[in-house]
Amino acid sequence: MSQLRKDPIVERWVIIAKERGKRPSDFVFNQHKKVVGFCPLCPGNEYTTPNEILVYGRQSNIPNSGGWKLRVVPNKFPALVVEGELDKRGEGMFDKMNGIGAHEVIIETPDHDASIAMMSVEQISLIFRAYRDRINDLSRDMRIKYIMVFKNYASAAGASLEHSHSQLIALPIVPYLIQEEVVGSAGFHKYKDRCVYCDIIRQELKSGERIVLENNEFVVLCPYAPRSPFEMWVLPKFHSSDFNYIDDTKLMSLADIFSQTMKRLDKALPDVPYNFMLHTGPVRTPNLDYYHWHIEVMPKLTMIAGFEWGTGFYINPTPPEESAKFLRDIKL
């Protein structure tokens, strides 16, 4: 079983995932190699994945067979597992616990070659529906304190399989960056009695200079202090701290604007590697006045190097006003 360990000085946890254990000779420096041939996520190869947890669109009742539109399966090499006890304990002055949680793979489409930029709005809505359904299911496990859903697109952004998929990791502690957001937005709320994200949306819609696109329910903007060129945040215009309470109408509206967002990104930077992360409130903290769920999209265009590792600062060569204008002006 993997271990969660805390740095003794700062609030940083790491997962020591020994099951993925590597000796020096196992590290491949060229991370751009393309894996070709057999794909375990393709229809017909369902027997190679762990048993599915969720499936959409299959007519038959035979689990792990073909004919599906989307599947969710446990990660074959999980960073965290559901079975076992947390067993929080010390090791001298250090702190650790067992790697309890969940690690799932959302197989977004049966089509091996489809990227989100190419998918129908209907298919994208299934992806968000799967996020919602899995979060709702896992939230019933009281050991789980946070659920992070994310996507790595292309090997340069960390994807080890080509077939379009996202991942979900359920954690036994609220991770540091989310805790920072929760504390920061709670501080703003205490001071102003307003949600900081709602205020951002209001100011950004008024100025317009960092807006990429909007519809009735959602807005996509380049944040004021972006870590990366072309970083985008997708925010609901309505206040909500929990993604998993989204209704079907809004889910479809989200799929629609997300489709346009990813098409724009792909047209601006064809096939750019990217990550996106769903930031939602900690599980079982419904309807927080001060927190606001959103999706952060981070194209991989700059590097985390010594300065960023040492300081937590980011150097970004492209002002968000320029990124937003470029993405806004794209003709689809």
Residues with catalytic roles: 165
d(CA 250, CA 125): 10
As measured in angstroms, the least distance from the Cβ of 235 to its own copies is 12
Q: Give me the residue label for tokens 């792990």.
A: 64
**Which strand (E) or helix (H) includes residue 148?**
strand 146-153
d(CA 122, CA 235): 20
As measured in angstroms, the least distance from the Cβ of 179 to its own copies is 9
As measured in angstroms, the least distance from the Cβ of 17 to its own copies is 5
As measured in angstroms, the least distance from the Cβ of 261 to its own copies is 15
Provide DSSP, 3-42: EEEE-SSSS-EEEE-GGG---GGG--S-TTPPP-S--TTS
d(CA 292, CA 62): 39
Look up residue 232 and give its two tokens.
């985008």
Look up residue 132 and give its two tokens.
């919602």
Q: Which is nearer to its own copies, 55 or 283 (CB)?
A: 283
Q: Which is nearer to its own copies, 68 or 290 (CB)?
A: 290
Q: Which is nearer to its own copies, 62 or 315 (CB)?
A: 315
d(CA 203, CA 217): 16
Q: Which is nearer to its own copies, 201 or 255 (CB)?
A: 201
d(CA 141, CA 139): 5
